[in-house]
């Protein structure tokens, strides 16, 4: 957790009452980091979807399986920085644990359509065909820009694998485009 050490914000060990809330199955080996996430927003959304219908599409960078590690990042002035260095002056982010999101959704009666790598998801939806169609009337520079954007969104070494897509849906909807 975050605490104060030598008059500065620092990561510190959580006090025993906090540790007591961690389930035994979540025991973290010494030297490993287990990020804990707050499930309430996803649970509320999933319950509403299960009761009233609809779907939610979540696309973000993250991992398909829960694992140990530190995914907290801070960016200030387009550069990575210490997350605790200048509170309120840097953008903070952490990778989505898509496996946990799926579990939280299913506990509320919604269907979680497995996380799919963004590149695969977009290919299933026809991004290559759409890009080809856009290029038919494009200038050479526009066609190059379309190709660059397609690569950025779908290539494994760019956003194609790092970003994932997951859908939370009413069970009555059945298979969703891009997930089947």
pLDDT at residue 57 in the model? 97
Domain range annotation of the chain: 31-173
Q: Is pLDDT above 70 for 23?
A: no
Q: How far apart are the C-alpha atoms of 160 and 86, rounded to whole Å?
A: 32
78-135 pLDDT, tens per residue? 999 999 988 899 999 888 999 999 999 999 999 999 899 999 999 999 999 999 999 9
SS (H, E, C) the chain: CEEEECCEEEECCCCHHHHCCCCHHHCCCCCCCCCCCCCHHHHHHHHHHHHHCCEEEEEEEEECCCCCCCCCEEEECCEEECCCCCCCCCEEECCEEHHHHHHHHHHCCCEEEEEEEHHHHHHHCCHHHHHHHHHCCCCHHHHHHHHHHHHHHHCCCCHHHHEEEEEEECHHHCCCCCCC
Q: Is pLDDT above 50 for 39?
A: yes
Q: Is pLDDT above 60 for 66?
A: yes
pLDDT at residue 16 in the model? 55
Q: What is the share, in percent, of the chain residues with pLDDT greater than 70?
A: 92
Pick the CATH number of 31-173 from 3.10.20.30, 3.40.50.12710, 2.40.160.60, 3.40.190.80: 3.40.50.12710
């Amino acid at each position: 957790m975050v605490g104060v050490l030598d008059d500065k914000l620092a990561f510190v060990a959580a006090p025993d009452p906090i540790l007591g809330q961690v389930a035994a199955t979540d025991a973290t080996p010494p030297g490993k980091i287990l990020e804990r996430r707050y499930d309430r927003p996803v649970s509320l959304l999933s319950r509403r979807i299960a009761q009233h219908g609809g779907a939610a599409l979540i696309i973000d960078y993250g991992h398909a399986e829960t694992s140990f590690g530190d995914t907290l990042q801070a960016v200030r002035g387009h550069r990575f920085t210490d997350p605790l260095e200048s509170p309120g002056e840097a953008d903070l982010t952490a990778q989505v644990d898509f496996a946990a999101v799926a579990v939280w959704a299913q506990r509320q009666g919604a269907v979680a359509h497995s996380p799919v790598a963004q590149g695969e998801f977009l290919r299933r939806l026809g991004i290559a065909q759409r890009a080809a169609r856009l290029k038919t009337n494009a200038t050479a520079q526009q066609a190059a820009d379309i190709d660059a954007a397609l690569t950025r969104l779908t290539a494994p070494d760019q956003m194609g694998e790092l970003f994932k897509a997951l859908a939370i849906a009413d069970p009555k909807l059945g298979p969703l485009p891009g997930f089947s």
